[in-house]
C-alpha cells in the first residue's frame, strides 16, 4: 500500500508529511494512515515536537469527494467514528504540534490544522469549511474546534457560508498564529518546533493537557485540573533542573534532558 502519510524524525522533531498529489485529498486510506502515524509520534520518545506539513503547494484541500459521493448513510455511520478518531489522534499527541500551512487548508484540511496547537500560515494560505456547499456540515471536528478557537458566532458565519479565509484574515481572527512568505512556512515551523523540543517535555505535556481539558469544562473544574498538574510537576526532573538553573544561572538557561 502506498504511504500517503509518513513520519520523518530529525533532531527530536517529527514531521508528519501528507503526500497524496495533487491536493492531499483525505480519503479513508489516508485518514487511517494519519491515525497510525499520529499514534507513532505520540509514543516515540525521540519525538519531542511535531510539525504537520502538506508540502510546498497545498496543505490539504479536504476530503475525497468522489469517495464520499458513493457512501450511504449507513456507510458514514460506520466510517464517521474512524474519521474523527484519525483527527483526534493528532489533537491528542501529548507534545507541541505545529501546522505549517501553505495553499489550501479546506474542509478536512482545515479541521486537521485545527488539531495543531499552533498554526503557521503562508501568505498564500486559504482556510475554510466549505462542507455546507455540498449539503453537509464539517464532520471531523470543525464545528467544535473552530468555535472554540475563533468563537461561536464567527465559526457559524464561516460554516454557514463556506467561504474561504485568506491568511491575513486568518491571523486577525486567530485561525492562524503567524503568517510568513510561503517559502518560509516549513523552516519557520521547524525552527519553533526545534526550540520547543529542547524544553521540559513533561511540563509541556502538562501545559497542553491543562489548556485542552480545561476548555472542555467549567472554570472551577479547569482550575482543579491545573492545580493537580501543577503539583505533579514537583515530582519531575524537569522541575529540579529548571529551578536549580534559575537559582544558579538566572532565567532561561536550563538545559532539559
The residues annotated as belonging to the active site are 111, 131
134: which 3 cell numbers?
A: 455540498
How far are the Cα atoms of 35, 67, 85 from residue 70, in angstroms, in the given order?
A: 23, 6, 21
CB 104 within 8 Å of CB 57: no
- Asked if omega into 69 is within 30° of 0 (cis), the reply is no
How far are the Cα atoms of 71, 104, 132, 178 from residue 25, in angstroms, in the given order?
A: 16, 11, 18, 25
How far are the Cα atoms of 20, 98, 109 from residue 179, in angstroms, in the given order?
A: 25, 13, 17
How far are the Cα atoms of 31, 42, 171 from residue 190, in angstroms, in the given order?
A: 24, 18, 19
Amino acid at each position: 500500500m502506498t504511504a500517503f502519510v509518513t513520519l520523518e524524525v530529525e533532531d527530536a522533531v517529527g514531521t508528519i508529511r501528507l503526500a497524496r498529489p495533487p491536493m492531499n485529498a483525505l480519503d479513508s486510506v489516508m485518514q487511517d494512515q494519519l491515525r497510525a502515524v499520529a499514534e507513532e509520534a505520540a509514543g516515540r520518545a525521540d519525538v519531542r515536537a511535531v510539525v504537520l506539513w502538506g508540502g510546498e503547494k497545498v496543505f490539504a484541500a479536504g476530503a475525497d469527494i468522489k469517495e464520499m459521493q458513493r457512501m450511504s448513510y449507513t456507510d458514514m455511520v460506520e466510517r464517521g467514528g474512524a474519521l474523527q478518531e484519525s483527527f483526534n489522534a493528532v489533537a491528542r499527541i501529548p507534545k507541541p504540534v505545529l501546522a505549517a500551512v501553505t495553499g489550501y487548508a479546506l474542509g478536512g484540511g482545515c479541521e486537521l490544522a485545527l488539531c495543531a496547537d499552533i498554526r503557521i500560515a503562508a501568505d498564500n494560505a486559504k482556510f475554510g469549511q466549505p462542507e455546507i456547499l455540498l449539503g453537509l456540515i464539517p464532520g471531523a471536528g470543525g464545528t467544535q474546534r473552530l468555535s472554540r478557537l475563533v468563537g461561536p458566532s464567527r465559526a457559524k458565519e464561516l460554516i454557514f457560508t463556506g467561504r474561504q479565509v485568506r491568511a491575513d484574515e486568518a491571523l486577525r481572527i486567530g485561525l492562524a498564529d503567524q503568517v510568513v512568505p510561503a517559502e518560509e512556512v516549513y523552516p519557520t515551523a521547524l525552527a519553533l518546533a526545534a526550540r520547543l523540543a529542547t524544553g521540559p517535555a513533561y511540563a509541556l505535556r502538562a501545559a497542553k493537557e491543562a489548556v485542552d481539558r480545561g476548555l472542555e469544562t467549567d472554570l472551577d473544574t479547569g482550575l482543579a485540573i491545573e492545580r493537580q498538574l501543577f503539583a505533579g510537576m514537583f515530582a519531575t526532573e524537569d522541575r529540579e533542573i529548571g529551578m536549580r538553573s534559575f537559582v544558579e544561572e538566572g532565567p532561561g538557561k536550563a538545559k532539559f534532558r
